[in-house]
Amino acid sequence: MGAGMMNALASLPVLGICGASGSGKTTLIEALIPRFLADGLRVAVIKDGAHRVMVDAPGKDSDRFFQAGADVALCGQAQFFRSHAGAEFSRRARELGQCYDLVLVEGHASTPIQKIWLLGQGHDKPPEHAGEILSLLAKTERDPDALYAWICSWLSGQWSRRPLYGCILIGGKSSRMGRPKHLIRQANQTWLERAVQRLSPLVDQVALSGRGQVPDCLAHLPRLADVPGIAGPMTGLLAAMRWQPEAAWILLACDQPDFSSEAVSWLRDQAGPGIHAVLPDLAGDGRLEPLLAWYDSRCRSALEDLARRGCLRLSGLAGQPGVISPTPPAHLRPCWRNVNTPEELARRGNQV
């Protein structure tokens, strides 16, 4: 496995449950799954190093396709993928780690991921080249409740290591304002410059979405092209997630000049393992705020599905698993205020 793939997996929630044959891997994973599902987490399991898997009886269609050299996908009430490619595990682990809250791998010594190693009878240590082992468990130490608590702590650590990016939308027509809102000046700065200055210390990278003009001092920032056929904030967020599929995102509009670092910190504090989006409900009346909101990469599939169905409102995520709508503290609620017209701008008291 290349160094790039190893680094990508290192920050994803992919954990091996490994050990010698008969050490109890399957039994332990089977006991852990219901505990995480009860927490609302999406869980996937990879059986790595599997031998003699019976996808279809020898001579049947799928087996004949596979023996002829093709990779075979079976879709129906269940799904199965069988591949000739040795690198398939690494790619599939990465894909699942971007979509699921926890991916458990029942693997072997060569599995290139972080792992827990179960010591079996006659095996008092792992084999050489077993990779990164986080914990060794003897047979008497395999209490599912204790291991569940350990994995919860590990998941929190993995979550905190994931990159957080900021995306500022500058593509609106600003028809009601009559001029580009992101270029309105306040205290010798454009609103866009001010937003970048406030957001940059809180995220790993700021990117700009939209075709708006950008001041020369911000020309170094990544510019994200709109997704063809999609409009509004949805195109900006999907462009961001396609560009950096392993990052979480703070999505901000250029006409929210009063947002603060405290509001961004509050958003991040609401998130964690199992949370896929934080869409604030300012008044507690069910009207959600999709901008100045937090989005995890794990809601991308839901967003792509909304876009395919022609629903381009980010609030369409409401009710999806892992999407929460907390109400911010009263002193932070002005951070979500939009300024859309010259009259609103005048009331705000800007010097332009």
More confident: 333 or 90? 333
pLDDT value at position 24?
82
pLDDT value at position 5?
43
pLDDT value at position 178?
86
Report d(CA 217, CA 351) in Å as an integer.
21
What number is the average pLDDT over the span 106-114?
74
- Helix, coil or strand: residue 19: strand
Report d(CA 33, CA 45) in Å as an integer.
9
The residues facing 102 across adjacent strands are 43
- pLDDT tens digits, one per residue of 228-270: 999 899 999 999 999 999 899 999 998 899 999 999 999 999 9
CB burial class (10 A; 0-12, 13-18, 19+) of residue 216? exposed
- Helix, coil or strand: residue 315: helix
Are the beta carbons of 210 and 169 closer than 8 angstroms? yes
Mean pLDDT of the chain: 85
Report d(CA 287, CA 284) in Å as an integer.
8
pLDDT value at position 352?
42
Q: What confidence tier does 127 reach under pLDDT thresholds 50, 70, 90?
A: confident
Question: Which of these, 174, 165, 322, 315, lies nearest to 239 by C-alpha position?
Answer: 165
pLDDT value at position 2?
44
pLDDT value at position 6?
47
pLDDT value at position 230?
92
Domains in the chain, CATH or no CATH each: 3-161 (3.40.50.300), 164-348 (3.90.550.10)
What number is the average pLDDT over the span 27-45?
90
What number is the average pLDDT over the span 100-128?
79
- pLDDT tens digits, one per residue of 177-199: 888 899 999 888 999 999 999 99
pTM for this structure? 0.84
Q: What angle do CA 48, 50, 52 make, to 5 degrees?
A: 165
What number is the average pLDDT over the span 150-171?
93
- pLDDT tens digits, one per residue of 298-338: 999 999 999 999 999 999 999 999 999 999 999 999 999 98
Q: What confidence tier does 176 reach under pLDDT thresholds 50, 70, 90?
A: confident
Longest CA pairwise span in the chain (Å) = 79
- Within a 10 A sphere around the Cβ of 274, how many other Cβ atoms? 19
pLDDT value at position 86?
53
pLDDT value at position 87?
57
> Which CA distances in Å does 350 have to 103, 148, 222, 318, 329?
50, 54, 29, 35, 25
Tokens of 94: 């990465």
Are the beta carbons of 202 and 265 closer than 8 angstroms? yes
- Strands 185-186, 189-190: pairing kind: antiparallel
Report d(CA 341, CA 110) in Å as an integer.
61
pLDDT value at position 94?
85
